[in-house]
Each structure stands twice: as C-alpha cells, then as structure tokens.
Amino acid sequence: MLKFNRISFFSVIGIATLFTGLAGFAKSEEVTKKITLSEALELMNANHPRIHAAEASLRGSEAGLRGVQNLPLFAKLSPDMKYRKQQSTLGIEVADAGLRQEIRDTSYGVARGYFLVVYSKQQQDLSKQVLDILGKNIKALELKMALKKTPEDEIKLQKLKLGFVEAKHKNSLAVTGYERAKALLTEEVGGRKKVGLIEPIEKDFASYELLGLLTPEFIEEMVEKTVVIREEVIKSSKASQILALEVNAQKSARFNPKFRTFASGSDLHYIP
C-alpha cells in the first residue's frame, strides 16, 4: 500500500511538472510582436493563402503557355494553334491581374485592420483614463464626506458612482474591441498559426493632410485611370478576347471529323 502511494505521489508530481513545463512553453510562445504597417504587409505577402492561390494560378497559366509552345511539330500544324497560343498568353494576363487584385484587396484589409487596432487601443486607453479620474474623484469626495457630510455631496457621490459603473462597462467593451481588432489584423495578415500574435507599433493615425488634394478634378481623373488599370476591368476584357478567340478556333477546325453520339445536339458547343 505504501509502495502504491509512493508511485501515485511521484506520478502526480511528474504530471504536474509536465503540465507546468508545457504551460511555460505555451506562455513563451505567446509573445506579442509589435510591427509597422510595412512589416504587416510583408507578412501578408509571405503568408496569406489567397495570395498563394493567385500565385499558383499564375504559375499554372505560365505552365500552360509553355505546354502549348512545346507541343510536337505535327500538333503545331493544327489550324487553331495560333488561337490557342493567344489564349494562353491572355490567360497569363488574366492570372496576373487576379494576383494583383488579391494583393490590392488583402493590402486594403491589412491597412484597415491595422489602423482599427490603433483606434481600438486609443479607445481602451481613454476609457481607462476616465475610470482612473472617476475613481480618484470618488475617493476624494468620500474623504471629504468623512469629515463633513452634506446632501449635495451625497448626490454628487451617487452620480460619480453611476458614472464609474457606466465607464467600467465602456472600458470592458473597449478592451473586447481591442482584442477583436487584433485578432482581425492577425487573420488579415495570414493567420495566427503563421504569424503569431501581432499588434501595431504606431499609436497614432497617419496624417490627413493629403485629403486636401481630393478636388473634383482630381477625383474625376482618378476614376478615369481606375477604369483602365482596375484588375476586374482587365480580367473581364481579357475574358472577352479569350471567348472571341475560342470562336475563331472552333471555326478554323471545322474540317475535323465529327462523330454523332446519343448526346449530339445537347451540347452548347456542338457543331453539326
């Protein structure tokens, strides 16, 4: 019985030591890194899965063009080959526009999340300052009332206490908002598993002096440029060109033999 108790005792000590070590290891891994917006964007480019997917799509389009270029000679003699090469080239342009669109969209999300954390931290600090001021005022008034109590002071004390309760509630909301904003920024950058815990190093917002440049003429010029360089517009334009090339490719291959099957005529692309 004594031997069993010793074994149980040392087992409990061993398990407790193991969990203590794991807890210490986990705690050491939870160090929050303070980063700039530029560093956040670098982490995004290196870790965001949507950007990785767009990069893979671009590599696939480039591989498709190489495949067309490396076809054997007899395949290159096909009348639709020139259209296939053009389609492959346009496919690369579409994939490149898709990658740039993902980078732009995720960069916007990171910047928005970054400054949301800055704003939330300011709200948290402000609510904490209000709590401290109210707490000091309550203590000072209570000390005064300990020497001499008046009805006016009683009313003032109750108002201060009500304000303190409300400020405490606001502070808890600010703390929760700050933590949620940090979690949002982490996800926008690429996820906690990849980047760990991060928070902005900045404490204030960027300068708003450039807003004075937003004249109607400047905005109109930017809209015109956006129509030309916006990735969504480029993708839709290239897709229309690819479709037109597909029509030409199908027409050029009309001499190819067609075999009727039970599904003949049911396909939208069927050429009788």
> How is domain 31-206+226-252 classified at the architecture level of CATH?
Up-down Bundle (1.20)
Q: Is 30 helix (H, G, I), strand (E, B) or coil?
A: coil
pTM of the predicted protein model: 0.65
CA 34-199-22 angle, to 5 degrees, is 85
* Integer Cα distance of 185 and 202 in angstroms: 14
CA 235 to chain centre: 22
* Integer Cα distance of 132 and 126 in angstroms: 10
DSSP 214: -
Q: What is the pLDDT along the chain (272 residues), one digit of tens a residue?
A: 444 454 454 454 455 554 555 455 444 456 888 888 888 899 999 989 999 999 999 999 899 888 888 888 877 788 878 888 888 888 888 889 889 889 988 988 898 899 899 999 999 999 999 999 999 999 999 998 988 889 898 999 999 999 999 999 999 999 999 999 999 999 888 888 878 888 888 777 665 555 555 567 666 766 666 656 677 777 777 778 888 887 777 777 665 555 454 444 444 444 44
* Integer Cα distance of 80 and 83 in angstroms: 5
User: Pseudo-torsion of CA 116, 118, 121, 123, nearest 10°?
Assistant: -70
Q: What is the pLDDT of residue 174?
A: 93
User: What would the two tokens of residue 40 be?
Assistant: 């956040």
8 Å CB contact between 189 and 40: yes
- Scored b (16 or more CB within 10 A) or e, 2-38 reads eeeeeeeeeeeeeeeeeeeeeeeeeeeeeeeeebebe
CA 146 to chain centre: 56
Contacts of 265 (CB under 8 A, 6+ apart): 272
Q: Report helix angle 81-147 to 231-252, nearest 10.
A: 160
